[in-house]
Structure 1
Amino acid sequence: MTPAPPDLHGLAVMLLAVVALFLFSRDRIPMENSALVVLALLVVGFEVFPYVSPSGQSIGTRDFLAGFGNSALITIMALLMCTRGLEVTGALQPVADRLARLWLKSPTFALLVALLLAATLSMFLNNTPVVAMLLPILISVGLRTGTPASSMLMPVGYATIVGGVCTTIGTSTNLLVVQVSAEMGLAPMGMFHFTPIAVVAAGLAILYLWLVAPRLIPARTAPMPDTSPRVFEAVLHVGEQSAVIGATISELIARTEGAMKLSAIERGPGLFVARLPSVTIRAGDRLHVRDTPDRLKRFEKQLDVALYDALDPGHALAAGEAPKAGDQRMAEIVVTRGSPLHRRTLKTVPFFTHHGLLPVAVHRPRSPGAEVTDIGEVFLRAGDIVLVQGSAAALDVIKRLGNVLVVDGSMDLPHTSKAPLAGAIMVSVVLLAATGALSITVAALLGVLAMVTSNCLNWRAALGALDRRLIIVIVTSLALGRALTVTGGMDYVAGLYVMVAEPWPTFVALAGLLLVIALLTEFVTNNAAAVLGTPVAMFVAQRLGVPPEPFVLAVLFGANMSYLTPIGYQTNLMVLSAGGYRFTDFFRVGLPLQQIMWWSLSILLAWRYGLF
């Protein structure tokens, strides 16, 4: 029997939900912009056309904005801050170092260890920093041993997704599903409530990623060309107050103990002076040099000059735009095909300006002897490396975007003296939540407090861990789900699904729901798929007369199964650039993985809850 359609408000919200899913699937539209538009339409629409359901339930602006205070969102933000504490203190670095040494001894066994390590860490930490930590190691090991990095990066990236599904804090998606279902009357789930089911499926997935997946991946060429110290073309700007004004070139080189190799002196646009030892340095001169990043920074201090900003000939990094000394980082960004830097010049691409980074040098691996007279006019090609300078927060944002490859994220390494303390705080958070001594939200908030008060984390770094896209998408998804529930749209969608699934056994209805959510999450944000899918799961179970928990878990598991496309999950985008993969590689490797997870989780859920 076809369910009765909802009223006009319900139909309008259903249409808006379709529009939202479409917008969330568009790469060219910033996700936060799409989410804000949808949220604004909800608020304005229900403000202009107030709604009261037949049962007397109303919904309005306060309900739509309540997501900003949702406990699941607060928990997610607190856990991201705690994870940042591990990052900035280098708490995970000793693990990474041991893994690198093991890889040189036994690559096959090391790959299994890497997969298990990635999956285990992702059970308790956000998987983005886990992948960011492992990527440089895997790339370096691949180059040293002659093993294609592409055979390692994708399996390890998938392992973090597989591991994240095993606990309630493994991903933000898990927390949202647990919170939304609890608000709808389902019994709260503890940290390891569904771990036994997920771990069995994850174990099968790990075996596939270890033994089969590397053989399915073509030998792709990673954009990193070598591991030797890279020599960059850079320009040092002599400021008005520089101590080297009036010094001769010979005196200048002597200040660097003979280390600096001066290739040219630019005294105006296109005007170069002879590099005679007796030539004196003037204010405004630009010294063209070729050297490694650490030496370039040393020359800055020795000569009292500043690395030149390639985007603006009028100033150097010593100007007000430069980050404060204590917050300065340098990073090497590799130009990859399909990235916003490919086939562009530094002066024409808005990428660096938008993200608060200053490009200061360029490395050209295929023409090491070529001189670059104006690094801002260099036509970037795949494999070129741009040395950038900026704040730790700005560099972290670049890493999270995933559309460029950050090879070396820090020349100013984090202090590691706090690493054991940061690790102990994170372990305490997990234990307090796992034992039920405190709720996950309270334990995470106490973890942030401990990180900050113990100086493992400062507020700049803590706030830099927050993802504005994640926040606004979660709030919008919660508001949209609330509107669909109150106006009857969710009940209508559930009724349509039941109408199709009712003739089949309950197991088929469960497996079908899991697959639908898994396919949906390939094209829209997994948080949106989870928040919208959870009420549907509750309604479907109610209509079928079965316990709702297995259907809710089907949504949770399905929303994490982003295996078929590189756009489905953030870590997929990260390894896409680093491994030199093609779009089709993800489908080739991800489809068998999706089938393994789908069938194993469906069978385990049906067996656990007696739905056969």
Structure 2
Amino acid sequence: MDINQFLVLAIFTGTLAALILTNKRPSSIFAGTLLALLLSQQLSLSNIANNFTNQGLITLVLLLIVSTAVDKTSLVKRLGRTLIVANFKHSYWRLFGLTFVSSAFLNNTAVVASLIGPTKQNQYHPASRLLIPLSYAAILGGTVTLIGTSTNLIVDSFMREHGHAGFNFWDFTLYGLIAGLSCGLLMFLLSPMLPSIENKNRQYNSYFIEAKVEADSELIGKSVEQNHLRNLPDLFLVEVVRNGQLISPVNPGLVIQQNDKLIFSGDIQKVDNLSHIKGLALFAESNGLLRDNLTEVIISNRAQIIGKTLKSVGFRALFDAAVVAIRRDGETLSGKLGEIKLQSGDFLLLATGPDFVQRQNLTKNFFILSEKKVAKKLLNKQEWITLGGFILTIALAAASVVPLATGLLFFLAVLVATHVTSMNEVKRHLPLELIIVIVGALSLASALEGAGVITLLTNVLEPYMTSSSPFIALVIIYITTLLLTEVVTNNAAAALMFPFAYGLVESLGVPLMPFALAVAFAASASFISPYGYQTNLLVFSASNYKFKHFVKFGLPISICYSAIVLSLLKYTYQL
């Protein structure tokens, strides 16, 4: 082993050790890897710069940015509200079905993030019996198509980097569908093993929010329970004001009527979940003031509006702003928003008009604290453009009419042109950490191959591998990747293992495709650890799960999934 091979192997070992043994972000570790490769002169700056233009990486970045726009639509939020019902069997299969199908085409982390709230706040079943299945359904759904999970696109980018054609859109579907549906059934059968534990309370300042039921509302004539108004993420229906009378507490059987004022308490940044309910309007919406940014203010001790109500003071005309929500520390508010007498120290969340900052009376009444970002409801036309355009882009790529990266680029341009998203949003949602991980892994793989480390390793293994079937080599690659993904995250596992799989393929003279699929499927198979996959980490943080809950429930799922995938690969490619 020469000095270059020793240096590259040392950098690879150090990267792997840091991923496993430290709590540093993978992006920070791979950034250090890039610097070490440059410092040791194993790669030049131009070599690393070339990896930033990798087609698979560009496709992944475009897909993630577009997914944030698709996540603005009401489809997933509206479906999420109606998922959980009294019957656990129906609730499980509704949740599994929506998550599995959505994750095949959308970023599965975004899907889980959207569904955690309705799942946690359901009134029928402990959320801990549904959150782990939610995460696993997203993982399984992500393995059905090329775009379902970032690991598939990472392996695809490596294949293209080595001069191969890469995956077709449906190359994963046979394996992903059979393994996914089988594991879905097994999860249902094993669901009694899931713990029943209390929800973890999220930390946020609870605001008092009012919404009016308009004449065309979908809520009218149905009860609170039928409208799933108790399944809204981090928003709680505390009161209903009807014909000037206060109804509190709110009975699940209460039938909603036109002009009812629904009073919610909760996280103001989840207020967009109200705007997705047809015919339910916040005051600022009806006045055309509700925008992406809300301004948080506190009423000063010398304000002229102290002791007056929003209605009597003519708040809209006085400040060119509408109060979206109000918070009073140490006191529970009650009644209609416009009839609450304001006090010094009250926090108001304002949707502001263009003249707000010009008003001379602001400093006399308020201390301006900050801006809060909330998701703004899309217009019907924008919803159709977003959903229709995404479906068309995926369909054209699946039919091999337009390359996926090209289709996503044009679709993103349409989203910007129709104001569904903006260039500022695109920059804000640019996944810089993921880009650094992938570029770092691509660069490390190039260094391993360039220094001859892969060749050296395959020469050592070749005498043992040639005496056994290629399927044994496939199993070894799969299991190694599987173990790695449980401790270093899925993207890093895929990126680190592919070069070794490729070297083994070259040495044995066998087809690359089954080994590439094995790496991709194994890198996604994080069912035992809460830290190996982003969706696991999301549900782990949302509940009071312990590590042992994932091991106990996930181990049989992992064994079932792995046995099906390996069996199908052996049968399909006659290994």
- Please list the CA deviations of residues 580-603 of structure 1 after superposition, one character each: whole Å capped at 9, or x if unmatched: 211111111111111111111111
Match of 1:253 in 2: 307
**Which residue does 1:237 correspond to in 2?**
298
Partner of 1:22: 17
Report the alpha carbon displacement of residue 88 of structure 1 after superposing the two structures with TM.
2.4
My pick for the range that moved more, 225-234 or 569-578, is: 225-234
* 2:6 alignment counterpart: 11
Alignment partners' CA distance in 2, 1:293 and 1:416? 32
Choose which of 32, 36, 60 in structure 2 pairs with 1:76: 60
- Determine whether 1:188 maps to 2:152: no
Map 1:394-405 → 2, pairs under 5 A: none
RMSD, aligned α-carbons? 3.3
Give the C-alpha shift of residue 130 in structure 1. Answer: 0.3
Structure 2 contact 303–344 (Cα < 8 Å) conserved: no
**How far apart, CA to CA, are the structure 1 residues paired with 2:37 and 2:480?**
26
**Aligned partners of 2:557, 2:64: CA distance in 1, in Å?**
27
Indicate yes or no: 2:145 matched with 1:167.
yes
Equivalence for 1:140: 121
Deviations 1:407-458 (A, max 9, x none): xxx5x65335322221111101111110111111111111211111111112
Task: Give 1:502 deviation, angstroms.
Answer: 4.0
Structure-to-structure mapping, 1:267-282, within 5 angstroms: none
Q: Match of 2:306, as an amino acid?
A: L
TM-superposed CA distance for 1:27, in Å, is 5.3
Q: CA deviation at 1:465?
A: 2.3
Q: Which residue of 2 aligns with 1:593?
A: 557
CA contact (8 A) 2:441 2:492 kept: yes
TM-score after normalising by structure 1: 0.69
* 1:485 aligned to which of 449, 455, 458: 449
Q: Secondary structure at the match of 2:72?
A: helix
Preserved contact between residue 115 and residue 210 of structure 1 (Cα < 8 Å): no
Partner SS state of residue 290, structure 1: coil
Letter of the structure 1 residue corresponding to residue 157 of structure 2: Q
Residues 499 and 562 of structure 1: CA distance in aligned 2, closer, same or farther (over 3 Å): farther
Equivalent residues in 2 for 1:60-459 (5 A)?
60-97=44-81, 99-100=82-83, 103-104=84-85, 106-141=87-122, 144-145=123-124, 147-212=125-190, 214-224=191-201, 227=236, 229=238, 237-239=298-300, 245=302, 247=304, 252-256=306-310, 290-291=331-332, 307=347, 391-392=372-373, 410=374, 413-417=376-380, 418-459=382-423
Alpha-carbon offset, residue 544 of structure 1 = 2.0
The 5 Å alignment of 1:548-567 reads 548-567=512-531
What SS does structure 1 have at the residue aligned with 2:331? strand
- Preserved contact between residue 232 and residue 293 of structure 1 (Cα < 8 Å): no
Residues 1:505 and 2:435 aligned together: no
Matched residues in 2 for 1:76 and 1:121: separation?
A: 17
Check whether the contact 1:186–1:549 (CA below 8 A) recurs between aligned residues: no
Identity %: 26
SS of the counterpart of 1:523? Answer: helix
Cα 1:535–1:287 change in 2 (3 A) is closer
Bigger RCO of structures 1 and 2 (CA < 8 A, at least 6 apart)? 1
Cα distance between partner residues in 2 of 1:186 and 1:105:
51
Distance 1:105 1:448, change over 3 A: same
Q: CA deviation at 1:87?
A: 1.8
Q: Which residue does the alignment assign to 1:474?
A: 438
Say whether residues 1:34 and 2:75 are aligned partners. no
Residues 1:35 and 1:116: Cα distance change in structure 2 (over 3 Å): same
In 2, Cα distance between equivalents of 1:189 and 1:586: 31
Aligned to 1:339: none
Quick one: structure 1 residues 497 and 134, their matched pair in 2 at CA, closer, same or farther if it must change by over 3 Å? farther
Equivalent residues of 2:328, 2:346 under 8 A apart: no
Q: Secondary structure at the match of 1:521?
A: helix
Give the partner amino acid of 2:60: I
Q: Secondary structure at the match of 1:533?
A: helix
Q: Is the 8 A contact 2:309 2:338 kept in 1?
A: no
Look up the SS of the partner of 2:528 in the other structure.
coil
Task: Please report the TM-score for the alignment, with normalisation by the length of structure 2.
Answer: 0.73
Instruction: Give the direction of change, closer, same or farther, for the CA distance of 1:560–1:298 in structure 2 (3 Å limit).
Output: farther
SS in 1 for 2:121: helix
Q: Aligned partners of 2:407, 2:303: CA distance in 1, in Å?
A: 61
Residues 522-574 of structure 1, C-alpha deviation per residue, up to 9 Å, x if partnerless? 11132222122222212212222321211111111111111111111111111
**2-structure distance, mates of 1:152, 1:307:** 36
Contact 2:199 2:544 in 1 (8 A): yes
1:288 to partner: Cα distance:
5.2
1:292 to 1:185, Cα distance in 2 relative to 1, 3 A = farther
**Residue aligning to 1:399:** none
Q: Distance in 1 between matches of 2:267 and 2:418?
A: 41
Deviations along 1:85-140, one digit per CA (max 9) or x if unpaired, are: 1122334223323x43xx32543123112112211111111111100111111112
- Structure 2's unaligned 5+ residue stretches are 203-233, 239-263, 269-295, 314-326, 355-368
Q: List alignment gaps of at least 5 residues for structure 1.
A: 52-58, 260-285, 309-316, 327-387, 393-409
- Confirm or deny: 8 A CA contact 1:168 1:174 kept in the other structure: yes
Q: Closer, same or farther in 2 for the Cα pair 1:148/1:390, shift >3 Å?
A: farther
1:528–1:292 distance in 2 versus 1, CA, 3 Å: farther
Distance of aligned partners of 1:156 and 1:483 in 2 relative to their CA distance in 1, 3 Å threshold: same
Q: Cα 1:208–1:252, aligned 2, differ >3 Å: closer, same or farther?
A: same
**Contact kept in structure 1, 2:143 and 2:172, CA below 8 Å:** no
SS in 1 for 2:488: coil
Change (3 A) 1:217 1:107: closer
SS in 1 for 2:97: helix
Q: Contact (CA 8 Å) 1:167, 1:191: kept in 2 or not?
A: yes
Measure, in 2, the Cα distance between the counterparts of 1:496 and 1:196.
Answer: 35
Q: Is the 8 A contact 2:488 2:532 kept in 1?
A: yes
Cα distance in 2 between the residues matched to 1:161 and 1:436: 25
Q: Which amino acid aligns with 2:476?
A: G
Specify the code of the residue in structure 2 equivalent to 1:162. Answer: L
